[in-house]
Chains A and B, each alone.
Chain A
Amino acid sequence: MTRYLMTRLFYFFLALLVLSVVTFSLNWLFPGDPLTNMSGIRDGQAAYNATLESRAFDSTVIQQYVNYLAHITQFDWGLSLSTGNDVWQDAATYLVVSAELVLLSFALAVLIGLPLGMLAANYFRHNLDKFILTSAMTGYSIPVFWLAQLLILLFAVQIEWLPITGQINPLYAIDSITGSVIIDILLSDSQYKLAALQDALLHLVLPVLTLSSLPSMLLLRITRNQTIEVLQKPYVKAARARGLSQKRLLFKHALPNVLQDVLPQMTFIFGLMMANLVIVEHIFNWPGAGAWLLKAIIERDYPIIQMVLFTLMGLILVLNLLVEIYRGWRFPMTREERYGGY
């Protein structure tokens, strides 16, 4: 296990390093002055010359890169080109906003995808299976931005159940301390916590529903296919021959093995959610990292682009690492997996 852990960690850091090289070289690929792109300080500003020195721009590229690494490990991503604020300080709440959205959507996706997938597999080739599978395929093919608009028109405008944009009605005057609206409400000294919480949860419904649609349908299909495969394995047949109930068979015997194959796909699903996050946050006006990234791209705010991209991609890598470690620990047999395994 130690060896397994070491190699995984080694590759993880190597991948992070490659990622940092990529973001570092972005400074040169973006139009304009690399130093400005990196630090957010424009030529002609008083601090420019000092930055030139502190970023080792009078030295070799290698030096500059090492310097860059030192800066980003201290979370110094420079200043925003449009507002002049420190990027990382602004980033904290944006990232937490997104984290809340992603976690809830992911939870919902798992709650929908896993049970329905198992259900469909249980009724393999029955009409129920076909029905679930067809709806999954439909849900999986709807473009997120279209789905969002349809949901808005249906739930917000036609039957007026749900609000459309933002985290909470701003009149509740909940200060954004952490970024996560639920935690912020609990931390606040507002007299109307319960009402605010209810309002916030209503605001969450549409974005969470939209963001979880694709991953849940994906998860459903993967779960179903894996479960069917597992259910045809000899050990399941043997267990069935011993007279075990279908329920016990599914949850006690098949589920662990299904999870073992579903887990590696989680990273992929998580990645897809990161991409859709940009669209969902844009449509529902959420003050999250995705919408922030999009605005930065439109306004050409390079320090922000770099920071958000590195963080989003880094998070995908972290999740990948966690999944691998968990898998290696829970299912030791996967540790020996051959190169290029799954």
Chain B
Amino acid sequence: MSKQSIIVTALTSFLLLSCSEQTQVPEPLQDGLIYCSEGNPESFNPQRVTSGTTVDATASQLYDRLIDYDAVQQSFVSALATDWQALDNGQRYRFHLRRNVTFHDTDYFTPSRYFNADDVVFSFRRWLDSDAPYHSVGGGFYPFFAATGLDQLISQVQKVDPYTVDIILTHPDSSFLANLATDFAIILSKEYADQLASNRQRELIDKRPIGTGPFKFVAFKKDYYIRYQRHESYWRQGPSIERLVFSITPNANKRMLKLVTGECDVIPYPLVSELKSLNRKEIEVRSEVSPNVSFWAFNTQRPPFDDPRVRQALSYAINREAIIDTIYYGNAELAESILPPTSWASSDAELKYHYNPEKARKMLREAGIPRGFKMDIWAIPVQRVYNPNARRMAELMQSDLAEVGVDARIISYEWNTFRRRLSRSEHDTVLIGWYADNADPDNFFRPLLSCAAVASGSNRANWCHNGFDQILYQAISTTDNAQRKQLYHSAQQLLMQQQPLLPIAHSMRYQAQREYVKGVELPPYGGISFRLAGKELPAQ
């Protein structure tokens, strides 16, 4: 007992100590940054996922791509490839690689050579070639590349010399470079993969990652934290902070409170209206127009959702204006189509599904749906750019649906379980969304609603329509923007009529941070990047 009482006395005295004098901020806290992320990454390799949470934790921190997209100049800029040319009428791309780029040196791997063409070939073959030794590691499933058709588009990746790589396409594609600049097309280390293979530990490649990115991986404790350390010999300007921690905090309220107490330096998906009402000057809320859409997808493979009339009727039953007001607090725009109005391919479509419970009731009856019909609404358990609170949105919709005689049940699981079950199509309907990985309008159509996306599991409506696929194919085969715009317009008309999903809102993207945090920008496409992160602590 006496020992414990000593501890308690110590505890109280420390408490008093800390209150009585403002001690200096200890060094580890000065040059470290805490980002309170909203969930666990599924893996440490973005090639294998489409989830924004995983991309945030991996893509820009641990890895680099061949090329990057500069949103300000709206052009592609060099990254691991210093320059590139399109040859053979756009069927062959030649990339010249950067020299003297080092991979991470950690306690589980020490690189003996610089980055070269072998690494590029290895990284692309991982998802491209089903015979590659690493293809099946982790399930052999690469949803982004399958959904965008990149795995079909690229026929070969060739090493020309140690610093030159050729990528050969089956046909010219206007979205190729855009897809290559996304967070998913990252470069892994072949040397590390070989080392793991000889130790028979292949599955570790995505658990203890090695890349060329500005940070190297230190530790991951599921549900609690991910720790990173600065990559000292990074090939371009790196961060000024030494340590980066992702503190995993799924609860939005707790995230906000932790930002207020200073336990987080940066948080994603803040409760914007709450924070503004707090009115604290040391907290900055930033917003950015972001190409995204949240929608309510019907599983069109399950009756009665295979009937377009039912989908239309349910769309009429939802009061989307109320959702914009209560869920987004007005910080979003009612979605007329899945393509955001900021896209160049967007055309003025007229809003078709106005809130009309009368009509919804009538149409449901015509489609043979009885009163008291039971259905499930799956609501994503995490906050996303496009949806700050899906569960609450589902509650609103639940009462809208009750009005038209539909009894809806809300279903939610832990995020990774949720995604797993969703890709197995266990849902009736789901409230989810999408944000663009690149500036090409194709990114809103093929990954979401093509037949290929049904197979890869990212088509949440499981909707496969040959005519629609045909239009999308035509749209990517041409480089004439006027013609593409026309084609996407007709694609949207078809969607409006078939209604495999109900678009709900295009939201602003928000991030809140302590005002001393510098260099953590909000990229319009893709995950967060801490490459230039730094802290400017006020003088003591």
Residues of A participating in the B interface, judged by any CB pair closer than 8 Å: 82-83, 103-104, 107-108, 110-111, 152, 156-157, 160-166, 169-173, 175-176, 182, 190-192, 195-198, 201-202, 204-205, 208, 285, 287, 291, 295, 298-299
* A176 engages B221 (CB within 8 Å): yes
* A156 engages B261 (CB within 8 Å): yes
Whether A171 touches B257, Cβ cut-off 8 Å, given contacts A107-B8, A195-B26, A202-B14, is: no
In angstroms, Cα B414 to Cα A103, docked, is: 31
- Contacts of B4 on A, CB cut-off 8 Å? 103-104, 107
* B28 engages A166 (CB within 8 Å): no
B247 is an interface residue with CB less than 8 A from chain A: yes
Partner of A287, one of B15, B29, B223, B260: B223
A213, chain B: closest CB distance, angstroms: 15
In angstroms, Cα B3 to Cα A103, docked, is: 11
* A169 engages B29 (CB within 8 Å): yes
Partner of B245, one of A82, A104, A171, A182: A171
Partner of B263, one of A165, A191, A295: A165
In angstroms, Cα B414 to Cα A82, docked, is: 11
Whether A170 touches B258, Cβ cut-off 8 Å, given contacts A107-B7, A192-B26, A201-B15, is: no
Which B228-282 residues sit within 8 Å CB-CB of chain A?
243, 245, 247, 249, 254, 257-258, 260-263
Whether A169 touches B263, Cβ cut-off 8 Å, given contacts A110-B1, A287-B223, is: yes
Which B206-234 residues sit within 8 Å CB-CB of chain A?
218-219, 221-225, 227
In angstroms, Cα B243 to Cα A291, docked, is: 27
Question: Which 10 residue pairs across A and B have the least CB separation, nearest first?
Answer: A171-B32, A107-B4, A195-B26, A170-B245, A201-B14, A170-B225, A171-B28, A156-B261, A192-B26, A163-B263
* A152 engages B14 (CB within 8 Å): no
- Contacts of A201 on B, CB cut-off 8 Å? 10-11, 14-15
In angstroms, Cα B414 to Cα A299, docked, is: 7
* A157 engages B260 (CB within 8 Å): yes
In angstroms, Cα B31 to Cα A172, docked, is: 11
* B261 engages A157 (CB within 8 Å): yes
In angstroms, Cα B223 to Cα A163, docked, is: 18
- Contacts of B27 on A, CB cut-off 8 Å? 191-192
B258, chain A: closest CB distance, angstroms: 6
B318 is an interface residue with CB less than 8 A from chain A: no
Number of contacting residues on B, CB 8 A? 41
Whether A173 touches B1, Cβ cut-off 8 Å, given contacts A83-B222, A156-B257, A201-B11, is: no
B17 is an interface residue with CB less than 8 A from chain A: yes
- Contacts of A107 on B, CB cut-off 8 Å? 1, 4-5, 7-8
* B254 engages A198 (CB within 8 Å): no
Whether A104 touches B28, Cβ cut-off 8 Å, given contacts A160-B261, A164-B263, A165-B263, is: no
B229, chain A: closest CB distance, angstroms: 9
* A111 engages B11 (CB within 8 Å): no
Residues of B participating in the A interface, judged by any CB pair closer than 8 Å: 1, 4-5, 7-8, 10-11, 14-15, 17-19, 23, 26-29, 32, 34, 218-219, 221-225, 227, 243, 245, 247, 249, 254, 257-258, 260-263, 413-414, 417
A255, chain B: closest CB distance, angstroms: 13
Quick one: which of A108, A190, A197 has the most chain B CB within 10 A?
Answer: A108
- Contacts of A173 on B, CB cut-off 8 Å? 28, 218, 227, 243
- Contacts of B19 on A, CB cut-off 8 Å? 161
Whether A165 touches B18, Cβ cut-off 8 Å, given contacts A173-B227, A201-B10, is: no
Whether A204 touches B263, Cβ cut-off 8 Å, given contacts A171-B32, A298-B414, is: no
Of all chain B residues, the one with the shortest Cβ separation from A203 is B263
* B227 engages A170 (CB within 8 Å): yes
Pairs across A and B, CB under 8 Å, 22 listed: A103-B4, A104-B8, A107-B4, A156-B260, A157-B261, A162-B261, A163-B263, A166-B247, A170-B225, A170-B245, A171-B28, A171-B29, A172-B26, A172-B29, A175-B219, A190-B28, A191-B27, A201-B15, A285-B224, A287-B223, A295-B414, A298-B414
In angstroms, Cα B218 to Cα A195, docked, is: 22
* B29 engages A285 (CB within 8 Å): no
Of all chain B residues, the one with the shortest Cβ separation from A104 is B7
Whether A171 touches B8, Cβ cut-off 8 Å, given contacts A192-B28, A299-B414, is: no
Of all chain B residues, the one with the shortest Cβ separation from A195 is B26
A299, chain B: closest CB distance, angstroms: 6
- Contacts of B223 on A, CB cut-off 8 Å? 287, 291, 295
A314, chain B: closest CB distance, angstroms: 23
- Contacts of B26 on A, CB cut-off 8 Å? 172, 192, 195-196
Of all chain A residues, the one with the shortest Cβ separation from B15 is A205
B360, chain A: closest CB distance, angstroms: 34
In angstroms, Cα B14 to Cα A166, docked, is: 18
B92, chain A: closest CB distance, angstroms: 43
In angstroms, Cα B262 to Cα A156, docked, is: 10
Partner of A202, one of B7, B18, B218, B417: B18
A286, chain B: closest CB distance, angstroms: 9
* A299 engages B417 (CB within 8 Å): yes
Of all chain B residues, the one with the shortest Cβ separation from A163 is B263
Of all chain B residues, the one with the shortest Cβ separation from A298 is B414
In angstroms, Cα B428 to Cα A189, docked, is: 54
- Contacts of B243 on A, CB cut-off 8 Å? 171, 173
B508, chain A: closest CB distance, angstroms: 26
Of all chain A residues, the one with the shortest Cβ separation from B25 is A195
In angstroms, Cα B15 to Cα A197, docked, is: 11
In angstroms, Cα B1 to Cα A291, docked, is: 27
Of all chain A residues, the one with the shortest Cβ separation from B33 is A171
In angstroms, Cα B224 to Cα A156, docked, is: 20
* B15 engages A202 (CB within 8 Å): yes
Partner of B254, one of A285, A298, A299: A285
* B5 engages A198 (CB within 8 Å): no
In angstroms, Cα B30 to Cα A195, docked, is: 13
* A171 engages B34 (CB within 8 Å): yes
- Contacts of A295 on B, CB cut-off 8 Å? 223, 414
A98, chain B: closest CB distance, angstroms: 14
In angstroms, Cα B29 to Cα A157, docked, is: 20
